């Protein structure tokens, strides 16, 4: 991937070869450059989406105006992704009804592709995935963000699959966003932006194709040892989303990177002290 050095930027010290298999799939930092408003917007949009999932809030009403700016495109498509993935199938704007542990996997894919698509045009930042093609610096960032988000949403394998109603809505909103970007940036710039978005989405879908989502892993209830995990009444059901524990992480080296040492032994003084507090 070609990365243009922005004026006044400095080469990052120690930016060398990847240090892990995951790093090898992702880009290595090349230039230090303050985050632009577009990148800050993408970060805020991603965090806002995760916050809405964590506190159980539904998404706000859809934006009525499809602004052509890249900042608006990032925010619009973050909202559309939440609607498509999180909204209940019976909602006014129906969605797949995914629970937070499931939806967060797919929202991360959407936002990662959006970031890479815009970064392919702006350059100067560390890409999430390495090996993306060169892109014109005059390409439409709004078209790139729109296409990346749309293509991940309609292309990612989810269980259950997105309904045709949801896909048709995403297609319609893509067309509206691209039309607005064309008026703002011109047809040639939009065509280049669409190509960047398609490349970023395809790379994300390829990398996450066999990442462990919807795997067969389930927790094994303990037979009797006190302090070990077990099912609870009345259903005594296993965790249907236990497979999340085996999904390849997005930015960590491994799922055990920050794992704790586990609970204190029941015969230890530390356990007694905590129990009697």
CA distances from 80 to 6, 85, 186, 237 (A): 32, 9, 24, 33
The pLDDT value recorded for residue 27 is: 52
The pLDDT value recorded for residue 236 is: 85
Is the confidence at residue 44, as pLDDT, over 70? no
- Averaged pLDDT, 134-154: 97
Of the pLDDT bands very low, low, confident and very high (cuts 50, 70, 90), residue 153 is: very high
d(CA 100, CA 129): 24
Beta-strand relationship, 31-32 and 10-11: antiparallel
Quote the tokens at residue 32. Answer: 């230090």
Find the range with the poorest average confidence among 25-34, 37-46, 92-101, 179-188: 25-34
Is the confidence at residue 53, as pLDDT, over 90? no
Of the pLDDT bands very low, low, confident and very high (cuts 50, 70, 90), residue 66 is: low
Find the range with the poorest average confidence among 44-53, 78-87, 168-177: 44-53
Nearest CA-CA partner of 179 in 271, 98, 43, 68: 68
């Amino acid at each position: 991937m070609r990365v243009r050095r922005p004026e006044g930027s400095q080469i990052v010290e120690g930016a060398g070869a990847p240090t892990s298999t995951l790093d090898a799939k992702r880009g290595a930092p090349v230039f230090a450059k303050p985050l632009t408003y577009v990148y800050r917007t993408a970060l805020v949009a991603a965090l806002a989406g995760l916050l809405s999932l964590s506190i159980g809030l539904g998404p706000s009403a859809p934006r009525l105006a499809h602004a052509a700016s890249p900042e608006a495109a990032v925010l619009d498509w973050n909202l559309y992704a939440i609607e498509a993935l999180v909204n209940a199938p019976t909602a006014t704007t129906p969605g797949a009804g995914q629970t937070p542990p499931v939806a967060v996997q797919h929202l991360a894919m959407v936002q990662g592709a959006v970031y890479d698509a815009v970064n392919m045009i702006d350059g100067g930042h560390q890409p999430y995935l390495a090996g993306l093609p060169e892109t014109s610096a005059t390409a439409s960032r709004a078209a790139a963000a729109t296409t990346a988000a749309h293509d991940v949403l309609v292309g990612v394998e989810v269980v259950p699959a997105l309904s045709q109603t949801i896909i048709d809505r995403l297609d319609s909103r893509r067309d509206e966003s691209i039309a607005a970007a064309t008026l703002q940036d011109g047809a040639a710039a939009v065509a280049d932006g669409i190509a960047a978005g398609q490349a970023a989405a395809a790379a994300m879908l390829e990398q996450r194709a066999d990442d462990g989502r919807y795997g067969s892993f389930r927790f094994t209830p303990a037979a009797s040892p006190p302090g070990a995990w077990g099912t609870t009444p009345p259903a005594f059901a296993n965790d249907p989303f236990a497979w999340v524990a085996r999904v390849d992480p997005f930015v960590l080296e491994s799922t055990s990177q920050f794992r704790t040492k586990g609970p204190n032994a029941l015969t230890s003084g530390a356990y007694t002290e905590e129990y009697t507090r």
